[in-house]
Amino acid sequence: MSVQTEPPRQRAVNLYTDLARTVRDHGLLRRRYGYVWTRITLMVSAFALVWVAVILLGNSWFQLVLAAILGVVITQFGFLGHEGAHRQMFESAAWNEWTSRLLAGIFAGLSYGWWKDKHNLHHVAPNQEDRDPDIAPGAIAFTRDIAARRTTGFAGWFMRRQGWLFFPLLTLEGMNLHIESIKTLFGPGSVPYRRVEAALVVSRLSAYVVVLLMVLPVGKASAFFCVQMAVFGLCLGGSFAPNHKGMPIVPPTLKIDFLRRQVLMSRNVRGGPFVDFAMGGLNYQIEHHLFPSMPRPNLKRAQPIVRAYCDEHDVTYNEVGLLSSYGIVVGYLNNVGLRAREPFECPVKSQYRG
């Protein structure tokens, strides 16, 4: 059946199918084993070198510089765990799962099982109310309905300024991730390999505190811990925030074809090698959401193909600079009740009705 005579819903499905075939024909879904092992080796070495430097430096306030560097290194382990969870590293599902579990638990002190379930829900329905946990009610109001319940008192004052407060709050995100990991591992519910993950996370966090107290007095050890957590939270949160915040919010019951669901709710961030490193490849968010298992170094190569395809089929492709993306996030969050006033409507909704 030709494209012209296919029903609208089938044409929407074929949009993604045709793009996926082109990307696959270019070899962009093949695993990059050399890249994976090189990246893991470099990050493990950097982690070890930082701790050697901490021990050699001893009782000094210059330890806070090392704390900041450690925060950046641990962020990179967060990216590696993310890649393993999406099966970007290896063909084997078990290799991906265990690599991600070990990297997250040993080096970042986080639960792979908790994070994977939450993140998978986000990928299924980005920016969709009642489905995407990343826009669920919390300290920040991301949607119009949440904002409508926070108009008075301190909640209202905070919401009207939450854009400016968002990035300072990210300094607490590292601690929040550790708390959520521990709550999940020691709370109700099912987590695969719960005991293994609990042993990894508890051992890692305990060893961290013990080593700090062996090398530094309590005051400096506390300062080291706080700086490292703040940098980790800021770097990790700062890499995820620009990708969807300020993009359309989707009503709970609206159905959208896969390509538009992923492209129209996502934003790319340009900026070159520094941004690629700092954001762990998540600056190619559109390509990542369309092809979650695509290895990180291939996302950049896929971008011209995806952009041209979207232009050809009149699907808006969003890309801005890093500072512009943060400006959009701040502006949207400060005015979330206004900016989210009109619900998103799928461009092909009228065709589906027909």
**Sequence-ordered list of residues with C-beta below 8 angstroms from that of 344, at least 6 positions apart, any chain:** 248, 249, 250, 251, 254, 264
Instruction: Read off the pLDDT of residues 98-124 as tens digits, 9 standing for 90 and up.
Output: 999 999 999 999 999 888 888 889 999
d(CA 285, CA 87): 16
Provide the phi-psi class of 349: left if phi over 0, else alpha when psi is between -120 and 50, else beta: alpha
pLDDT at 3: 43
Q: Answer yes or no: is pLDDT of 195 > 50.
A: yes
Q: Is the pLDDT of residue 7 over 80?
A: no
pLDDT tier for residue 337 given thresholds of 50, 70 and 90: low
Amino acid at 332: Y
Place of tokens 């925030």: 241
- Nearest C-alpha neighbor of 84 from the set 131, 39, 50: 39
Give the global pTM: 0.89
Most confident region among 53-67, 178-192, 324-338 by mean pLDDT: 53-67
265-298 pLDDT per residue, tens: 999 999 889 999 999 999 999 999 999 999 999 9
Calculate what percentage of the chain has a pLDDT beyond 90. 76
pLDDT the model gives residue 276 = 94
Where does residue 73 rank: exposed (0-12), middle (13-18), buried (19+ CB within 10 A)? buried
